[in-house]
Amino acid sequence: MPTLSRRAESLGTENAFVVLAEVNQLIRSGKDIVSFCIGQPDFATPAHVQDAAVEAVRGGKHGYTPSAGIDELRAAAAASMARARGISISPDEVVVGAGAKPFIAYAIASVTDYGAGDEVIFPVPGFPIYESQCRANGAVPVGLPLREAREFAFDPDELAACITPRTKLLILNAPQNPTGGVLSSADLRAIAAVLERHRQIWVYADEIYSRLVYDAEFVSIAALPGMQERTIISDGASKTYAMTGWRIGFTANRQLAPVFTRWITNTESCASQISQWAAVAALNGPQDAAENMRRRFLARRDLIVRLLNQVPGFRCAAPGGAFYAWPNVTEACALIGASDSEELRKRLLHEAGVAVLADIHFGPRVAGDGQHIRFSYAAAESAIEAGVERIADFVRRATRPPRK
């Protein structure tokens, strides 16, 4: 029997989809599950965006496009990204892909050499695809901890200590998955000051949640002096416009745009033309639906944080962006005799009917920070109330009496 390559055997995954498959199987078997495991807006794609897609289909706009995307979307994405970051971006710097996720791989493959020992620094906890794509592309993944005491921002001294002559790429994600943490202007200036001493390092700025910041203005490291030319800005339509399944993402970097275009030619050929025209309508059309979603997410954030802090053994800070809550459940694990957050996750699913993700799904636990689980509050308010109530009831039932 033919064998698989070591690369295929070692390729990681995104555990949100693994747990979702388990949840769906339980639901099919008749179980009642409240799910907080998938990071996907539960709102409908805005009506005018849907209409643009239908018009594209009816108008025959469903063939191949240039690999970099249609001119209209590249221009719209350039204007939107520039406006949000207070910088200038031209359409020829922008490349459109089938979602933002492929650009993680394209960026790593474009700035590191396979098997050469080139290093990529990425946040831990963090989106698991960062590490898996490092390994798949023959780079060395270097996790940099996001500490609860720093509101899940990098410690510049720890960043500086991670950098070696082999470091080629730093991945920033803000607002962040899974913690909901943001990077302030002061954080970004400190990071830029470190990078100023290491001119060989590119920055991959994963800013897919840029329109979902709640307590401050969104800021990008690309807006700082000397940073735009070495920053790969990554954004997309999925989170802002409830377009996850439409698969439209875009990046901006002048030097790498032609390289990313060649990667797309070699892989997906182009993003769906229908989805591209829908994204043009999303970016250029009325923004009231997107702003309403942001307001609803903010209300849900406040609701879930308040309710989680009432659960015995839970401690949850208010996330500054995205739609994830990351409560510390160290005490809850002790109360019910769970060895760690993964055991708690499994018991919540099978004994309480609530689906969440454990911290180990986002990399190794940060030393000294205890146990965490992730909630996606891209769920109806009624689901948030019902789900957290189930968790609170479960913890109270399962709490062991203190030893005498």
In b/e form, how buried is each residue of 42-68, taking b as 16+ CB within 10 angstroms? bbebbeebeebbeebeeeebeeebebb
Average pLDDT rounded to a whole number, residues 267-290: 98
Residue 233 pLDDT > 80, yes or no?
Answer: yes
Secondary structure (3-state) at 263: helix
Query: Looking at residue 213, what DSSP letter applies?
Result: B
Answer yes or no: is pLDDT of 7 > 90. no
Q: Is the pLDDT reported for residue 99 higher than 90?
A: yes
Could you tell me which of 363, 313, 347, 352 has the C-alpha nearest to residue 129?
363
- pLDDT digits 0-9 by tens, 201-223: 999 999 999 999 999 999 999 99
pLDDT at residue number 404:
59
Model confidence at 25, in pLDDT bands (50, 70, 90)? Answer: confident
pLDDT digits (tens, 9 = 90+) for 367-382: 999 999 999 999 999 9
Helix axes 381-398, 288-308, angle to 10 degrees: 20
Global confidence as pTM: 0.95
Query: Where do the domains of the chain lie, and which CATH numbers do they carry?
Result: 6-44+289-398 (3.90.1150.10), 61-284 (3.40.640.10)
Beta-carbon contacts of residue 150 (< 8 Å; ≥ 6 apart) = none
Percent of the chain having pLDDT more than 70? 99
**Phi (first) and psi of residue 337, to 5 degrees:** 75, 25
pLDDT tens column, 279-317? 999 999 999 999 999 999 999 999 999 999 999 999 999
Please give the residue that has the higher pLDDT: either 28 or 179.
179
Mean pLDDT of 139-144: 97
For 129, the token pair is 């695809």
Residues 38-81 pLDDT 10s = 888 999 999 999 999 999 999 999 999 999 999 999 999 999 99
- CB distance 329 to 341 below 8 Å: yes
